[in-house]
Amino acid sequence: MSSSFNQVTVLGAGVLGAQISFQIAYRGFEVTTYEVSDAALKQARQRFKGIAAVYPTEVEGATAAAAQETVERIRFTTQLASAVQGADLVIEAVPESLELKRDVFARIAASAPPAAVFVTNSSTLVPSELMDSTGRPDRFLALHFANHIWVNNMAEVMSSPNTDPRVYQRVLAFAKDIGMVPIELHKEQRGYIVNSLLGPFLMAAADLLLRGVAEPNTIDTTWRIATGAPKGPFELFDIIGLRTAYAVASAGGPDRQAWANYLKRNYIDQGKLGVESGEGFYIYPMS
Amino acid sequence: MSSSFNQVTVLGAGVLGAQISFQIAYRGFEVTTYEVSDAALKQARQRFKGIAAVYPTEVEGATAAAAQETVERIRFTTQLASAVQGADLVIEAVPESLELKRDVFARIAASAPPAAVFVTNSSTLVPSELMDSTGRPDRFLALHFANHIWVNNMAEVMSSPNTDPRVYQRVLAFAKDIGMVPIELHKEQRGYIVNSLLGPFLMAAADLLLRGVAEPNTIDTTWRIATGAPKGPFELFDIIGLRTAYAVASAGGPDRQAWANYLKRNYIDQGKLGVESGEGFYIYPMS
């Protein structure tokens, strides 16, 4: 089936929002990118430039000319009502706050076409926490992308109990249309599939370290040899970023607090944030 | 440092015991292989033939002539006392039963040279549960191999609180001498590193399936794309074997029973045991 979405609005042009806008526009859709201010839009334009530069080197068959033309085709606006006018699909990628997201959906509910489908890219919320703010629970669900979207090209698609199954199917088709592997979830799951697997796995590794069983590089080596995986858990922690790992652990139960404290004391307080800062559990050459 | 082990006795020539004997003999050590009966030894000889046939195709630089010569050099015996005579190192790889292992250690304690080091390859026990049966707690620890030892070439080395640190170092050196990556554990950990990571990871995947969140191939696809791993959790279940997964789950807490029941009802009762039977979560072409 075809998604029959033509005009797509992406709310938010942060790291992931910009990647989403670019990927969709590159695949031929009409894209409008919304940001809160001219300053934010200016920053977004820089992000798009960076993406256009790297995209042809990382995506098979992509050309610099097409990447350049993609950026030129994206429409930018700071007007929320105008951003969603005529949209077939609105992708919400604003900062991860329940209140902010609910407020944004409430504000666009009246301006967007009644038939428009809304999706959230939230990593930590589930659609049923947001649906009543959208004015269209049956045309609302989650479409969740991973960072570095054109390489980690999967999109997790997750309905609330109120989502119309035909809308779910259209969003699955859209994910395929934009070059993603659609990941079908049959019910709401906080953390979707990726984080539901990563969480217990990473905490098991953290637990071995906290209890002094083995060193991070020993644990990583073991996992790589045993499973053939390219990265062990502490290499993944460094990629995810130790501030994110800290935030997740801090929000967890009492057993997670020891890990949050360990990360803060030994890494974050010393400016070791993982790959992004050049050092975490490992040292990374800065380019 | 050198391990200064020359004569090595391997107790048990099951799937892993035979691999251990072969790998050590191939690396130039004098190896004695013990099995309980002539029938068991006959089966073991078949195993060694199979290993010698495949080894040169899977190990860089290995030759058929050297593999053949390796098998010829291994000494076979069904006499426990004679098996350990003159041994510098005794590797216990008998079936996974606490009572059996304690009994075997008690029986060799008097026949083996007092200076001989004993190690257990137990997957599920920790050395302190066995040490008093060995008559030499200071010269006893765990040396744990993974199936397909020449490919998954790591050896987890784990002391009890009573193990002499110099003995631990000698066993680490020995692991290197026989072509393993030695994995240093600093304290006793049931399941070592591999199973301490695999357990929570695989159970998180099982939980998503049990609760109807997504299908096995969807979950596997997600993990592969998100982490670059060659296999997802249900592919790993099939490799480990669903009977093993069932046994592990059955021995676990009440939350694991639902998974044990699911495996039994949908797979094991129907002869679907994973890769070994040609079908588990996936279908495998039988060679």
Closest B-chain CA to A229: B229
Q: CB contact, 8 Å: A210 with chain B?
A: no
- Give me the residues of B, 45-104, that contact A with CB < 8 A: none
Interface probe with A: pick from B144, B201, B207, B240, most Cβ of A within 10 Å: B201
Domains recognised in chain A with CATH numbers: 7-184 (3.40.50.720), 196-277 (1.10.1040.10)
Predicted local distance difference test score (pLDDT) of residue A220: 98
Burial A124-150 (b: 16+ CB within 10 A, else e): ebbbbbbbebbbbbbbbbbbbbbeebb
State how far the Cα of B208 lies from the Cα of B234, in Å rounded to an integer: 11
Asked if B173 contacts B89 with a C-beta cutoff of 8 angstroms, the reply is no
State how far the Cα of A70 lies from the Cα of A65, in Å rounded to an integer: 9
Predicted local distance difference test score (pLDDT) of residue B145: 96
Cross-chain CB nearest to A222 (options B154, B231, B233): B154
Predicted local distance difference test score (pLDDT) of residue A287: 63
Minimal C-alpha gap between A210 and chain B (Å): 12
The two three-digit tokens of residue B237, written as one number: 């279940």
pLDDT in tens, A161-186: 999 999 999 999 999 999 999 999 99
Predicted local distance difference test score (pLDDT) of residue B253: 86
pLDDT in tens, B38-93: 999 999 999 999 999 999 999 999 999 999 999 999 999 999 999 999 999 999 99
Interstrand relation of B89-92 and B75-77 (parallel, antiparallel or unpaired):
unpaired
Q: CB contact, 8 Å: A146 with chain B?
A: yes
Predicted local distance difference test score (pLDDT) of residue A9: 98
Question: With the C-alpha atoms ordered A33, A167, A96, A146, is the resulting torsion angle positive or negative?
Answer: negative
Bridge partners for B75 per DSSP: B32
The model's confidence at residue A128, banded by pLDDT at 50, 70 and 90, is very high
pLDDT in tens, A55-104: 999 999 999 999 999 999 999 999 999 999 999 999 999 999 999 999 99
Q: CB contact, 8 Å: A194 with chain B?
A: yes
* Chain B positions in Cβ-Cβ contact with residue A237 (cut-off 8 Å): none
State how far the Cα of A279 lies from the Cα of B4, in Å rounded to an integer: 39
**How many residues make up chain A in this entry?**
287
Cross-chain CB nearest to A225 (options B153, B211, B227): B153
Asked if A8 contacts A32 with a C-beta cutoff of 8 angstroms, the reply is yes
Q: CB contact, 8 Å: A151 with chain B?
A: no
Q: Which amino acid is at B213?
A: V
State how far the Cα of B187 lies from the Cα of A235, in Å rounded to an integer: 23
Q: CB contact, 8 Å: A172 with chain B?
A: no
Minimal C-alpha gap between A175 and chain B (Å): 14
**How many residues make up chain B in this entry?**
287
Predicted local distance difference test score (pLDDT) of residue B83: 98
